[in-house]
Amino acid sequence: MFKKKLGLFVGILLIYTILFSNTVFAKTTYESDPTNTKLELSDSDSLKIKENIKTILDTQYEIMKTWKFKSNQELIGDSKLLELIEKTNKFKTQWYKKVNLKALNYNSTLDIENIQKNSNNKYTLNVKYSIDFYLSNSNVKSSSFDEKYIFELEKKGNNYYITKMLDLTDMQEEPINSTNQVRSINKLDYDASKKIENTEEYDNFITDKISSIDDISNNIDRYAEEQNKQTTSVPVNTKAAYSGYKANAAVNYALKWAYSFNPKYHNYDKEGGDCTNFVSQCVNWGGIPTAGSAWSSNTTSWINVKAFYNYMRSSGYTSGGDSSSGSRLGDVIQLYHKKWVGSDWSHTVIITGRDGSGWLYSAHSDPRKNYPIANVYPTSSYTNIRYIKFWH
């Protein structure tokens, strides 16, 4: 009997110890590059960091839902970053109203992949962010998956303030051709970390983005006019150069593979950017025929933004110029990016849906499905747009 009571007592004590440890002394452990040492944060600190970052990334969708702008200055610990964020959110509040972009609700997740301690009270974090939201004008589900960011936070008292923020799409370089590959994702993360550590270079980058926000804010009516032309028909007096494009097939392929990779093709996401490779697959599935070394899997015109555009235009597959007028489902959009690594046409997406605000697109790098083009253009990064409209 004594042994049974002793065993019961030890068991209860063990359970109590485990529960007490999990609630009071639990730690969250992350890899800390490049030394591969372990950095431990309490659950309360880890939760506070995630809450603060998630609030900042959620803000645009909260604005999209309410058309109201609430300052997040209590979370930002750098005056220039705060200026950029406040001006961006003010622009979005006005922009969403002008183009009638409104969300019913949204659901987001944020994962911290890595925390590196820079000093006694500063930390650099790699995070991934995903969002699902429904658009009120069509009840279409839009989503973005595994957006990559780097944040620097400074701990003051019991709170963590965001002092630097970098969207890794501002660092990506798409493959130039099939033999001259760009940086790997791991190298991209490393380069971005070094960029964010260089205070002068980072400050110049933020200053440039503030200038871009000022510019698009001053020209908001011009951008809205272009946005509203998306479904305007343009009379075509010439005979179609190609009539074999099946837009529905291209759209269906895009929606099927937006968040995964067809194993029949090389995945260029590992080399910096898969966007044009993905869109080439879509339009090929829709009926644009391969052409040997001119346009087929892994050729320069298949994987590179500008080469894809030049090939489609010169081969007679497109109509109506670069404006949004006359664009339709299955057509392609390209965006001009004021990146850290150099401004250029650098992103290719395909139109897969429509909402009251305009076209929805699907893409790789960042993976997105039926995402409103009005939420990525214009921005402090994407400052110009062109449409590739196929004969169909």
Q: 387 has which bridge partners?
A: 333
Which pTM was predicted?
Answer: 0.87
Q: What is the mean pLDDT of the chain?
A: 86
Do 203 and 99 reside in the same domain of the chain?
yes
The CATH number given to whatever domain includes residue 50 is 3.10.450.540
pLDDT tens figures, 221-269: 999 998 988 877 665 556 788 889 999 999 999 999 999 999 999 999 8
Do 202 and 262 reside in the same domain of the chain?
no
Look up the domain containing 258 and give its range: 241-388
pLDDT tens figures, 309-319: 999 999 999 99
Do 217 and 245 reside in the same domain of the chain?
no
Do 254 and 213 reside in the same domain of the chain?
no
- The verdict on residue 66 lying in a domain is yes
Backbone angles phi, psi at 266, to 5 degrees: -70, 145
Which of 114, 103, 108, 149 has its CA nearest to residue 128? 149
How far is C-alpha 228 from the geometric centre of its chain's CA atoms? 23
pLDDT tens figures, 367-380: 999 999 999 999 99
Query: Among positive and negative, which fits the CA dihedral 121, 127, 133, 135?
Result: positive
* DSSP label of 72: -
Question: Please, which pLDDT band fits residue 33 given cuts at 50, 70 and 90?
Answer: very low
- The verdict on residue 124 lying in a domain is yes
Asked which of 221, 251, 285 is the last residue of a domain, the reply is: 221
Exposure class string for 95-112: b at 16+ Cβ within 10 A, else e: bbebbbbbbeebeeebeb
CB atoms within 10 A of CB 195: 18
Do 57 and 176 reside in the same domain of the chain?
yes
Asked which of 221, 249, 282 is the last residue of a domain, the reply is: 221
User: What pLDDT does 110 receive?
Assistant: 97
Q: How far is CA 39 from CA 27, 127, 193, in A?
A: 10, 16, 17
- The verdict on residue 1 lying in a domain is no
Percent of the chain with pLDDT over 90: 67
Asked which of 221, 255, 273 is the last residue of a domain, the reply is: 221
Do 278 and 141 reside in the same domain of the chain?
no
Choose the weakest-confidence range: 269-283, 333-347, 353-367: 333-347
Do 176 and 300 reside in the same domain of the chain?
no
User: What pLDDT does 171 receive?
Assistant: 76
3-state DSSP assignment of residue 153: strand
> How many domains, the chain?
2
Do 208 and 74 reside in the same domain of the chain?
yes
User: What pLDDT does 235 receive?
Assistant: 55
pLDDT tops 70 at residue 128: yes
Choose the weakest-confidence range: 182-191, 261-270, 382-391: 182-191
Q: Distance (Å, rounded) from C-alpha 84 to C-alpha 244?
A: 46
pLDDT tens figures, 60-71: 999 999 999 999
- The verdict on residue 15 lying in a domain is no
- The verdict on residue 375 lying in a domain is yes
- The verdict on residue 20 lying in a domain is no
3-state DSSP assignment of residue 378: coil
pLDDT tops 50 at residue 96: yes
Cis peptide before 34 (omega within 30 of 0): yes
The CATH number given to whatever domain includes residue 304 is 3.90.1720.10
Do 273 and 363 reside in the same domain of the chain?
yes
- The verdict on residue 76 lying in a domain is yes
